Amino acid sequence: MIETAAIVLHAFDYRETSRIVRLATRESGVISAIAKGARRPKSRFGQGLDLFTSGTALVALHQSGDLHTLAGFDASRARPALAQSLRRFGAAAALAEVCLRFGTEATAGVHDALSAGLDRIGASADPDVPAATLAAAWRIVGELGFAPALESCALCQRELQPDEDVRFSHRSGGAVCHGCRSLVPGARSLPASARVTLVDWMAGSEVPLHDAPTARAHQRLLREFLEEHLGDGRAFPAFQSWERLDS
Ligand SMILES: [Zn+2]
């Protein structure tokens, strides 16, 4: 039995009275657990198993199989603001999807970056949601251990000047300088301003985005990066729905 901070990433009804949840836990990464009796009127889970709620989970981890038993969930923070705007909800679902897909590698840092990101999205007006979400997603990427090279060339390691326009090669792992660009044909161009924004986001700053085309370019860059690094050929449906909301 473990007791751990956790966030509800996904929840669905199971049989007559139960719910199955996927949780981003601080101690054990993303896990699936069955909450038996969660749909009974006087369930001990109460409303705690709503999407994107943070709390303390008591989990009986089973050695065999991937479905564990949720013995209790003490909700500490529901996030109703996320459901009050389609943009916020879509963004939160995209962030949750990133965690779900990289689940087993998740760490305490991932949990904490997700928690802060969901709070930030919940507090954002619609036009500010994309920047808040992108910043949180890149921080999660960093916590997962594959932050892209941004301040030096991913190939020759030369330090990049702040005003240097470069290419971004997903396969090479980040920024590629002018001298190395012929080695990454087809790589997207990454203007200096976009690169500086990425550096700032990964460092924890909440840098806003000033127009929709810039936000869309950032969304596309992040999605391509995730697809490359997950490498299992599956799409990111929630992420793509989120991109369509803002297009
Ligand atoms: Zn280079």
Under the banding of pLDDT at 50, 70 and 90, the label for residue 102 is confident
Distance (angstroms) between ligand 1 centre and the Cα of 153 equals: 5
Contact between residue 55 and residue 9 where contact means Cβ atoms under 8 Å apart: no
Is pLDDT above 80 for 103?
Answer: no
Q: What is the pLDDT of residue 35?
A: 96
Q: At 60, list the tokens.
A: 């009986």
Q: How far is the CA of 174 from the centre of ligand 1 (A)?
A: 11
DSSP SS3 for 176? strand
Per-residue b/e over 156-175, b at no fewer than 16 CB within 10 Å? Answer: eeeebeeebbbbbbbebbbb
> Contact at 8 Å (CB) between 143 and 110?
yes
Ligand 1 midpoint to CA 157 (Å): 6
pLDDT, tens only, 12-39: 999 999 999 999 999 999 999 999 999 9
- Same-domain pairing of 139 and 199: yes
Same domain? For 49 and 143 the reply is no
d(CA 247, CA 243) in angstroms, rounded, equals 6
Average pLDDT value over all residues in the chain? 94
Last residue of a domain, one of 77, 110, 125: 77
What's the mean pLDDT in 220-246?
Answer: 90
Q: Are 90 and 134 in the same domain?
A: yes
Q: Are residues 104 and 208 in the same domain?
A: yes
pLDDT band of 105, cuts 50, 70, 90 = low
107 plus 225 within the same structural domain: yes
CA distances from 61 to 58, 101, 183, 213 (A): 9, 20, 47, 45
65: left (phi over 0), alpha (psi -120 to 50) or beta: left
What spacing in Å lies between the alpha carbon of 146 and ligand 1's midpoint? 19
Query: 53 lies in which domain range?
Result: 2-77
Let me know whether 195 and 212 are in one domain: yes
Total structural domains in the chain? 2
194-227: per-residue pLDDT in tens? 999 999 999 999 999 989 999 999 999 999 999 9
- Determine the distance separating the centroid of ligand 1 and the alpha carbon of 196, expressed in angstroms: 17
pLDDT of 48:
81
Tens of pLDDT, residue by residue over 55-87, are: 999 999 998 888 999 999 999 999 999 999 999
Tell me: do 65 and 98 sit in the same domain.
no
Ligand 1 centre and the CA of 155: distance in Å? 5
Reported pTM = 0.94
- Same domain? 137 vs 235: yes
| Structural domain ending residue among the three candidates 61, 77, 93 | 77
Nearest of 72, 76, 121 to residue 96 by alpha carbon = 121
Cα–Cα separations (whole angstroms), residue 40 to 19, 49, 76 = 10, 13, 21
Q: What is the pLDDT of residues 160-187, one digit of tens each?
A: 999 999 999 999 999 999 999 999 999 9
Residue 59 carries which DSSP code?
E
For residue 172, being part of any structural domain is answered with no
